[in-house]
Amino acid sequence: MEAIRELLDDYDVLAAFLVTIRLTVFSAIFSLIIGTVIASMRVSPIPSLRTTGSLYVNLVRNTPLTLIIIFCSVGLWGQLGVELADRDSGTFLVDNAFRLAVLGLSVYHSAFVAEALRSGINTVPVGQAEAARAIGLSFVPALRLIILPQAFRGAVAPLANVLIALTKNTTVASAIGVAEAAALMKTMIENRADVLFAVFAIFALGFVILVLPTGILLTALSRRLAVQR
Amino acid sequence: MSEHDVLFDAPGPRTIRRFRIINIIALLLIVGIIAWVVVGLRNQGQITTSKWEPFLTGEAWTSYYIPGVLATFRAAGVSIVLALVFGIVFGLGRLSQLRLVRAVCSVVVEFFRAVPVLLMMLFSVRFYSYYDLVDPPQLPLYSVVTALTLYNGAVIAELVRSGVHSLAKGQREAGLAIGLTYGQTLRSVLLPQALVAMAPSIVSQMVVIVKDSALGYIIGYSELLRQGNQFGVAQQTVFPSYIVSAAIFIVINAILAFAAHSLARRLRSRTGAAIAAGTPQVGGVGVGGQTT
């Protein structure tokens, strides 16, 4: 206990977890947007869009996140000169690494969001789609007004799993120098190996605190939101 | 999947024509995006023979990629075996009749499912080196295996538990009726059936393990990603080296996913209660698991 208090005084653990949370929130928003587009493409009547959608999901899902994140930094930025922040701003390096990490996390998790939404679409009974067609809605309105609203409600549980995985996966951003929780833990563990277990306990607990309530909350939400059939 | 065809009507002649036009526009758009990327890469000098030729040499494969793939397999293979042992022990622990055993196993399983794999890896490296438990050259391998075992073992423990729960009630009752104790029923009647039913899920967990082994890159384990990267730096073909590593990972994982899928299909015809399998989970540093 004494060691933990001392560690918390010496290092700004809260700030590191704040970066973790920011990574999670931004990546969650972007991967939800990309994932929705991909899922819509996969159920559309247009063959080329369908093929592209499933190709995207299958390629991204089978690639390690570490590879994607490091590729964003070394490949996109280092080799191709893609910069996502203003070079003249004082915080160029920090902002650029953060945004590249968000890009990588979003691309990776969007594939899983698309899969979650597709499983959500599968929970919508055939009759709903048939009814939508019967009242004369074409594909896009039927998807937008009838199918997707129900699909999102049915997909809350799988989406929650993706969000939880995303929260934990933000630690990979430390590989490209984002100062989030895992990066701070690495520093602390190097400097204070004598209190190794206390350091690990702090960060493990931090993630348990982030992940468990999200899980409980979203499981409850998914029960409430699931369409009663 | 059957939903696809229900979402839109069987198209009439006019709609077919419209779909065809949209299809061509979409195709042009996609080809356009790909062309834009390729031209961009060309302007950056990434699509030249000098950048890609090194991958055709024997050295690229014998000294870099094949050792990398083998190292990835070694870490993943050892991890899945240890994770199975861990998972069965703690999965059965969670089904124990003793409240204390159940509680301890639940806490352990939930803890390792909630903590990112990378944190466990970083911790293992320092733990083994600080207490001098492992030969320094073996340090990264041991750390990767430790972290992957703990996380995936916890996931498998959950699979064991849900597998046993999904079996028909009569199996347990039959075991008890012929005079087996609860523990004997669990071990010799329920567990074997649960393990068969969850085989596809274990194979798809392999995909997660293979992907997560790439985290070893961060702690200096010479797996596929690191070996490919080293080759790229040595030959000054960094960008293509990532593409090649990614392609190898994708092929390995696609084969595993296919194996899981066909295993699930074969089992479904054999047993009624095959566990919903095959949906590969969010890998990376960890999965949310089935439920959290």
For A74-106, what is each residue's pLDDT tens digit?
888 888 888 888 888 888 889 999 999 999 999
Below-70 pLDDT ranges, chain B: 1-7, 9, 270-292
Arithmetic mean of pLDDT over chain A:
91
Q: How far is CA A186 from the centre of its chain?
A: 23
Domain boundaries, chain A: 2-225
Residue tagged 């090194």 (tokens): B54
B250 touches chain A (CB under 8 A): yes
CATH placement of domain A2-225: 1.10.3720.10
How much is the pLDDT for B280? 42
Q: Is residue B17 part of a domain?
A: no
Q: Is residue B291 part of a domain?
A: no
Contact call for A142 and B118, based on CB within 8 A? no
Q: Is residue B61 part of a domain?
A: no
As for how many domains chain B has, the answer is 1
Contact call for A79 and B9, based on CB within 8 A? no
Reference A172, options B187, B153, B27, B283; nearest CA is B283
Query: Nearest CA of chain A to the CA of B180: how many Å?
Result: 37
Contact call for B115 and A207, based on CB within 8 A? yes
Contact call for A172 and B2, based on CB within 8 A? no
d(CA A104, CA A123): 30
Reference A109, options A80, A68, A156; nearest CA is A68
In this complex, which of A64, A74, A161 lies closest to B214 when CB atoms are compared?
A64
Contact by Cβ (8 Å): A176, A72: yes
d(CA B140, CA B124): 9
**Nearest-CA residue of chain B relative to A180?**
B119
pLDDT of residue A146 exceeding 80, the answer is: yes
Looking up residue B95, the CATH number of its domain turns out to be 1.10.3720.10
DSSP chain B: -THHHHHSPPP-HHHHHHHHHHHHHHHHHHHHHHHHHHHHHHHTT-SSHHHHGGGGSHHIIIIIIHHHHHHHHHHHHHHHHHHHHHHHHHHHHHT-S-HHHHHHHHHHHHHHHHS-HHHHHHHHHHHHHHTT-S-GGGHHHHHHHHHHHHHHHHHHHHHHHHHHHHS-HHHHHHHHHTT--HHHHIIIIIHHHHHHHHHHHHHHHHHHHHHHHGGGGTTT---HHHHHHHHHHHHT-HHHHHHHHHHHHHHHHHHHHHHHHHHHHHHHHH-TT--S-------TT----S--
How much is the pLDDT for B271? 56
**Residue B201: which domain range?**
73-270
B-contacting residues in A 7-66 (Cβ below 8 Å): 43, 45-49, 52, 58-59, 61-66
Disruptive mutation site among A20, A63, A184 for chain B (greatest number of B CBs within 10 Å): A63
pLDDT tens for each residue of B82-122: 999 999 999 999 999 999 999 999 999 999 999 999 999 99
If you ran DSSP here, which 8-state letter would residue A227 be given?
A: P
Q: Is residue B221 part of a domain?
A: yes
pLDDT tens for each residue of A172-215: 999 999 999 999 999 999 898 889 999 999 999 999 999 988 88
Query: Nearest CA of chain B to the CA of A200: how many Å?
Result: 7
Reference A166, options A93, A73, A104; nearest CA is A104
Residue tagged 């594909």 (tokens): A139
Contact by Cβ (8 Å): B202, B152: no
Which carries the bigger pLDDT value, residue A56 or residue B276? A56
Q: Is residue B257 part of a domain?
A: yes
Q: Dihedrals φ, ψ of A227, to 5°?
A: -70, 125
Count of Cβ atoms closer than 10 Å to residue A175 Cβ: 21
How much is the pLDDT for A44? 86
> pTM for the complete prediction?
0.89
Three-state secondary structure readout of A10-52: HCCHHHHHHHHHHHHHHHHHHHHHHHHHHHHHHHCCCHHHHHH
d(CA A170, CA A172): 5
Q: Is residue B283 part of a domain?
A: no
Q: Is residue B86 part of a domain?
A: yes
Confidence of residue A65 (pLDDT cuts 50, 70, 90): very high
